[in-house]
Structure 1
Amino acid sequence: MLPGGGGEEWKRRGAPAGEDAADADADAATSASAASLNDLCATAAAGAPAPFPTAAAWAVAALLAVGLGVGALVLAVVRSPALLVVAVLLAASVAAFLLWNAAAAASGHALRRFVDGLQASSLRVAADGQLVKITGFVSCGDISLISSYEKVENCVYTSTILRKCARWGSMTLNPWNRCSKWKLAHAERFAADFYVADAKSGRRALVKAGHHSKVVPLIDENLLVTTSRGTELSSTLEHWLEERNLSSEEAQIIRLEEGYIREGMRLSVVGVLSKKNGDAVILPPLEPQSTGFVLLSCLLPSYFDGIVLRLAAVPNSGVS
């Protein structure tokens, strides 16, 4: 389990002012934060599910190996390389296809392509229980988040990732300042319930990203800090490491990345629409959803389980 550290920074929207009121609502606010915040730290280490079962990949590899063996045997006996050439080309094509899909699933490329290609829905005409994509500007709910390192306020999702240079024993893989492989050392990811204003209908929907909901954030972290051997750490970074009981002596080659969704950003949300009691609420799907097969891109179906969050480009205002 990845440490959450001091990442549970939040503030209650519309909290009453005054010391007495703050003391009176302290217990209620603590309970509200525990119920509203969604700890997604483990998703930083968990990769996307493979687009094909591991057993199927091994079975295909075994069949290709048999084909290569038969081709080599025919070449030795009949002196005809035709079958071996065909087997090699087929094996190379299948291997490239599997590697392409594995990389697309691991990087989230397949899911991003699916979300970008999905037609935006309208809260006015979408039916109850329908899988929808709502695109619009974000506003905070009762609880807003503060990013861990940059201290950006009024966020609905925050992600701070610390990576260290991979080590073999006591020596780094690369004796120079460069690092060829980064290992996840610490992660803080949190989400809270928020609102998204539908650009098509003008209505607003509550997105249930808190309360332990399943969330799939397609939000890239920005690189904030990178160090090399002999780099003197800033006081801000040292304080951040100390708060999380991370040794600054071991922070010789590290990368600190942070991403967030802030109030006012334009976001695409994919989830199941609920219209009970006249309120529009976007919930996680009850079961994993498939992106479908993309023939032109040679992409096998990929699956996502939860509300998908994807930052959307702001439409061109026409001002150059």
Structure 2
Amino acid sequence: MLPGVEDGKRRGVSDAEAEAEAGASAAALNDLCATAGDAGGPVPAPFPRAASLAVAALLAVGIGLGVLVLAVVRSAVLLVLALVLSAAVSAFLLWNAAAAASGRVLRRFVDGLPASSLRVAADGQLVKITGMVSCGDISLISSYEKVENCVYTSTLLRKCGRWGSEVANPKNNCSRWKLTHAERFAADFYITDAKSGKRALVKAGYHTKVVPLIDENVLVTTSRSTDLSSTLKCWLEERNLSSEEAQLIRLEEGYITEGMRLSVIGILSKKNGDFMILPPREPISTVCFTETFIAWRKHLWLYLTRLN
């Protein structure tokens, strides 16, 4: 059985039909494991590299001129101004880099976009559709909790970072959790627009690049004295992962199930009265404000964010 996909035999089909269906499912599934390098998926740089290099060059020139004036005129005013300006710009860049890494900027941008209506939105328009989710031709099952009728699943295994041969923190609350295994899958699904009542097919399946803003829930956190449950041991053994009792392990899982409210951002396609939401063909340049600071980010894909 494919990871996360319903078993064809359970629905009463033959072995051959189940194998064919599994092959079709593999072709339609979207394996997002490569984007699970961190908890929030891919994080673009908050500023273009060329802009950062240009600013660094200008600050270096300013500091150099300040040093020259100090050596010739014996006045440190220009040097002090250059150093103060450099500190302010560095703080600005670091603040935005931290905001980008945490995902706060992207989430604020998504929350700030007004919801669109499928009834009035034009073909090819960037839209944000909010509504109830329903499964398409393929539904998923979450890896650990075995939650059925999902359109997106994410299961992350983290282990406590080590310093040499010692655990960084012998207690439960490890200060650094390193991602060692990830399972993320998405499939095409339908969303019913809360404003118009119309339904659209969201192309989140095979070969679609998706940025999922879905928080995983912590299911298991072990300590050095914890005996691993039989369910966790079996899950680890099926994936040929180490199940040493002394390890600090954290297992996280998130999913979108049928009936949840979801917000999707993408390009609307209208053909023969049918609605589809596709990834944007061109990068989206966004200006996101965090307090009084601005972060520039570019995104190319669909955005998924669960609503409370």
Same fold (TM over 0.5): yes
Q: Alignment partner of 2:132: what SS?
A: strand
Q: Give the match for residue 17 of structure 2.
A: 25
- CA change 1:205–1:12 in 2 (3 A) is farther
Task: Give 1:229 shift.
Answer: 2.1
> Given that residues 219 and 253 in structure 2 are in contact (C-alpha distance below 8 angstroms), is that contact kept between their aligned partners in structure 1?
yes
Q: Distance in 2 between matches of 1:42 and 1:17?
A: 31
Q: Distance in 2 between matches of 1:302 and 1:191?
A: 24
Q: Indicate which of 224, 230, 234 corresponds to 1:235.
A: 230
> 1:81-122: per-residue Cα shift (whole Å, max 9, x none)?
433332232112111111122122222222211211111111
> Given that residues 12 and 144 in structure 1 are in contact (C-alpha distance below 8 angstroms), is that contact kept between their aligned partners in structure 2?
no
Q: Alignment partner of 1:67: what SS?
A: helix
AA of the residue aligned to 1:195: Y
Q: Write 1 or 2 for the structure with the bigger share of strand.
A: 2
Q: Give the match for residue 26 of structure 2.
A: 34
Question: How do residues 175-190 of structure 1 correspond to structure 2 at under 5 angstroms?
Answer: 178-190=173-185
Q: Alignment partner of 1:50: what SS?
A: coil
> 1:40-90: per-residue Cα shift (whole Å, max 9, x none)?
001111631102233543443344344345445655665544333322321
Question: How do residues 1-320 of structure 1 correspond to structure 2 at under 5 angstroms?
Answer: 8-11=3-6, 17-18=11-12, 21-23=13-15, 25-45=17-37, 47-71=42-66, 74-75=69-70, 78=73, 80-174=75-169, 178-249=173-244, 252-292=247-287, 294=289, 297-313=292-308
Structure 2: runs of 5+ lacking an equivalent:
none
Q: Distance in 2 between matches of 1:146 and 1:206?
A: 20
- CA change 1:296–1:28 in 2 (3 A) is same
* TM-score normalised per structure 2: 0.89
Q: Distance in 1 between matches of 2:7 and 2:233?
A: 28
Q: Distance in 2 between matches of 1:106 and 1:186?
A: 20
> 1:95-150: per-residue Cα shift (whole Å, max 9, x none)?
11111221222222222112111111111111111111110011111111111111
Q: Give the match for residue 3 of structure 1.
A: none
- CA change 1:67–1:172 in 2 (3 A) is farther
Q: Distance in 2 between matches of 1:121 and 1:297?
A: 27
Q: Distance in 2 between matches of 1:261 and 1:16?
A: 22
AA of the residue aligned to 2:229: S
> 1:213-241: per-residue Cα shift (whole Å, max 9, x none)?
11110111111111222222122211111
Structure 1: runs of 5+ lacking an equivalent:
1-5, 314-320
Q: Distance in 2 between matches of 1:235 and 1:201?
A: 48
Q: Alignment partner of 2:87: what SS?
A: helix
Task: Give 1:23 shift.
Answer: 3.4
Q: Alignment partner of 1:102: what SS?
A: helix
Q: Distance in 1 between matches of 2:2 and 2:167?
A: 29
> Given that residues 190 and 202 in structure 2 are in contact (C-alpha distance below 8 angstroms), is that contact kept between their aligned partners in structure 1?
yes
> Given that residues 111 and 291 in structure 1 are in contact (C-alpha distance below 8 angstroms), is that contact kept between their aligned partners in structure 2?
no
> Given that residues 16 and 22 in structure 1 are in contact (C-alpha distance below 8 angstroms), is that contact kept between their aligned partners in structure 2?
no
- CA change 1:229–1:296 in 2 (3 A) is closer
> Given that residues 225 and 257 in structure 1 are in contact (C-alpha distance below 8 angstroms), is that contact kept between their aligned partners in structure 2?
yes
> Given that residues 273 and 281 in structure 1 are in contact (C-alpha distance below 8 angstroms), is that contact kept between their aligned partners in structure 2?
yes
- CA change 1:69–1:173 in 2 (3 A) is farther
* TM-score normalised per structure 1: 0.86
> Given that residues 12 and 29 in structure 1 are in contact (C-alpha distance below 8 angstroms), is that contact kept between their aligned partners in structure 2?
no
Q: Among the aligned pairs, what percent are the same residue? A: 71
> Given that residues 12 and 143 in structure 1 are in contact (C-alpha distance below 8 angstroms), is that contact kept between their aligned partners in structure 2?
no
> Given that residues 177 and 228 in structure 1 are in contact (C-alpha distance below 8 angstroms), is that contact kept between their aligned partners in structure 2?
yes
